[in-house]
Amino acid sequence: MEAPALPVAARVAAIVGRPNVGKSALFNRLAGRQIAIVHDQPGITRDRLSAECRLGSGAPFEIFDTGGIGADVDGGFTARVRAEAEIAIAAAAVILFVVDGRAGLTPVDLDLAARLRRAGGKPVLLVINKIDQPELDAHAALTADFARLGFAETYAVSAAHGRGINPLVAAIERWLPPVVAPSPDAASSSSEEISQSTVPRLALIGRPNVGKSSLTNALLGAQRTIVSEVAGTTRDAVDIPCVLDGQPYVLIDTAGLRHRGKRDNSAEIFSAMRSEKSVRRADLCVLVIDASAGVTSQDRQIAGLVQKANKPCLVAVNKWDLLAPPMVEGNARRVGKKEAGRELHAFRQEWLERARAELFFLPHVPFIALSALRGDDLPRLTSALADVRAAAQRKLATGPLNRALRAALELQPPPLVANRRFKLLYATQIEHERRNAAPVPVPAFLLFVNDPALLTDGYRRYLETKLRELEPYRGLPILFKLRGREETSAD
């Protein structure tokens, strides 16, 4: 059937349906990769996820995955999940209403169908999922139960096995608005500004209930992810394009990372694995810790993941409002506002110094005390992010670099290893282009030495400390690549 003309709208298809009908499996199939967590437990997806679908014959389009709506399976999250779904429906040009072909029609399906018919006249494609065998097609598509929903276009698919996906994609493309071709000047400008290869992926990481989703919403200025006092509310790693302080990012709000022995179920284990993967694929990490709890052993373990992955990082000390206001109010009555402000500053510095001591293995990482709930000091965080990105582009000239490292060797000679001593012959910084032009390139230095095996971990840290006296590289790890006299390359 031919789609009527639509008003200019986003090329977006929203996937909606009750819990556990396979929406996330369909989302992953259309996206062409595993993004959303797929699990038999209903209510796994809570936040609104988005990805690009390139399976069609035309231009790519965006797909939204939403949490299951219409049944209280998820301990109080129903209202927020429904709100997220309604936002996705409002933004979409076409709606994919997913039902379970095995379970048949339910009262929740009927209620959702009535709501969708009131969704501003937008086209709704009924997707009967879990039709894994060809002989089930006719029964699923023509059954009187599903016909009662009253939607003209019905597609029987198996998201798990990929059956029926191509006809569904073709139907989606018929209903999407046309692509507006930009002018040549606009196209070149756009590609320069938002090329995905140059937009940093910013991962917000931390243990459960430290306020990662609250910080995501505060940075975006909108309720983009679900916030709750219940630990573990976020389960998927949600990728959200945004602009912070005038600079583009892809923001990744991750599930909270608990200790491996305290993960309650397989869904939580999958969430933790997804968060750990998010750290690895991120260009920049913000470790969120709870000021009211201090730095915990789990905070240290998560910081260790960042260190091991050699990722640029900042520490956001969230919930600072739980510590600061009571002290300020009490002291202001006692000594006056000006003196209370000085005492607050001293308290903040002392608290942050203790936190830095707990995370001593990340001495180069900036700490920012803030309140995501109240929006206090968010500009300091976005400014620090910009500073890290700027520092990543700085290059040390070869002459000063070699003089600084040689001075360090003379000041404190390397230790003997098997009666031999490490010697530095020459050093140079590896150009950004040779590191695949990462959005936030980690400073890397090639050291020509007598024998790479003679450089101990302690002396490597010493050389890094002396190098930071020349260029601090705040928030950035420093990598040394070693090449021996008799080798072509060595790490």
CATH topology of 12-175 equal to that of 398-484?
Answer: no
Adjacent-strand bridge partners of 241: 250
Nearest to 380 by CA among 317, 310, 291: 317
12-175: CATH superfamily: P-loop containing nucleotide triphosphate hydrolases (3.40.50.300)
Domain boundaries, the chain: 12-175, 188-392, 398-484
Query: Residue 24's pLDDT is what?
Result: 86
Q: Report the alpha-carbon distance of residue 100 to residue 156 in Å, rounded.
A: 10
Q: Is 188-392 a CATH 3.40.50.300 domain?
A: yes
- For residue 97, give Cα distances in angstroms to 19, 31, 132: 12, 17, 18
Adjacent-strand bridge partners of 128: 99, 156
Query: Residue 151's pLDDT is what?
Result: 86
Query: Residue 423's pLDDT is what?
Result: 94
Rg (C-alpha) for the chain, rounded Å, is: 27
Residue type for 152, please?
A: A
Tens digits of pLDDT across the chain (491 residues): 433 333 334 688 888 888 888 888 899 899 887 765 444 444 444 445 777 888 988 888 988 887 656 544 444 434 444 555 666 677 788 999 999 988 888 888 888 888 888 766 789 999 999 888 766 555 544 556 788 888 889 999 999 899 999 999 999 999 988 875 544 443 333 333 344 457 899 998 888 888 888 898 888 886 544 333 433 333 344 577 888 888 899 888 665 444 555 544 444 444 455 557 778 889 999 999 999 999 998 889 889 989 999 999 999 999 998 886 555 555 555 556 677 778 788 888 899 999 999 999 999 999 999 999 888 899 999 999 999 999 999 999 999 999 999 999 999 999 999 999 999 999 999 876 444 568 899 999 999 999 999 999 999 999 999 999 999 999 999 999 999 976 544 44
398-484: CATH superfamily: K homology (KH) domain (3.30.300.20)
Q: Count CB neighbours of 399 within 10 A.
A: 8
For the entire predicted model, the pTM comes to: 0.62
Query: Residue 58's pLDDT is what?
Result: 83
